[in-house]
Amino acid sequence: MAALTWDETGKHFYDTGLDRGVLYVWDPAASKYAKGVAWSGLTKVTDKPTGAEITKLYADNIPYLSMISAEEFEETIEAYTFPDEFFACDGVVDQKGVRMGQQARRSFCLSYRTIRGNDTDGNAHGETLHIRYGLLASPSEKARETVNSSPTATTFSWSCKSTPISATGLKPVSSLEVSSDSVKPKAFKALKDKLWGSGSDEPTLLLPDEVTALIETNSTP
């Protein structure tokens, strides 16, 4: 039997970076998420799982069991800009070029890419695709500031809560990640082509079961 080893060359992994954001807005007329649109200007995406709190129950003067509350998923999105399609998610309706606020907010999904690096290849080692499902953005503060001697660009921030999506054999899913070093290269490319679009396909959101099926189909020789 082999002994455990630590700090092997090529296995010092890290994650960094954020790019290739894609927005998929719910289309009530079609009862599905619309084709993806590029979201440039993303600066930060913060996952904030909540819940899953442990409550201890006692009986016979001793701890009887521990119960865990339901887990929920929240996310904060920060950016310098956003695609026009996101106005509907932020409670804004366009009326002949006039944008009216305080309207109904549409659900959306988001995908983006991060870098998967290691000690030998650096940032070129690989990448990870992230998908976030069923997000609903809360109203957020937007501050405007005069031009001064220390110029800064206005940043936008949204706090979002997720309504998870069903996945066969699992509890409903709010977040999903696929790394290039965990699946076959063909399967990873197929997933990127679906999410980002290709010469033959429009950028399309894949649900958890569809992601699993795509990876499986493209993992065979």
Q: Rounded to the nearest 10 degrees, how much is the dihedral formed by the CA atoms of 200, 205, 208, 209?
A: -40
Which residue's structure tokens are 């001793």? 62
Mean pLDDT rounded to a whole number for the chain:
92
pLDDT of residue 151: 81
pLDDT of residue 101: 86
- Quote the CA–CA distance of 89 and 106 in Å, as a whole number: 5
Question: Where do the structural domains in the chain lie, given as residue ranges?
Answer: 14-57+65-180
pLDDT at residue 221 is higher than 80: no
Reported as a single tens digit per residue, the pLDDT across 124-171 is: 899 999 999 999 999 777 777 788 888 888 889 999 999 999 999 999
pLDDT of residue 139: 79
End-to-end C-alpha distance for the chain, whole angstroms: 31
Which residue's structure tokens are 């290849």? 121
The DSSP-derived string for the chain is -PPP--S-TT---EEEEEEEEEEEEEETTTTEEPPPEEE--EEEEEEEEEE--EEEEEETTEEEEEEEPPEEEEEEEEES---GGGGGGGT-EEETTEEE-S-PPPPEEEEEEEEEEETTTEEEEEEEEEEEEEEEEPP---------SS-----EEEEEEE--EEETTEEEESEEEEETTTS-HHHHHHHHHHHH--SSS------HHHHHHHHHHTT--
Reported as a single tens digit per residue, the pLDDT across 53-102 is: 899 999 988 989 999 888 899 999 999 999 999 999 999 998 888 888 88
Strand partners, 38: 22
Reported as a single tens digit per residue, the pLDDT across 165-188 is: 999 999 999 999 999 999 999 999
User: Pairing between strand 156-162 and 71-79?
Assistant: antiparallel
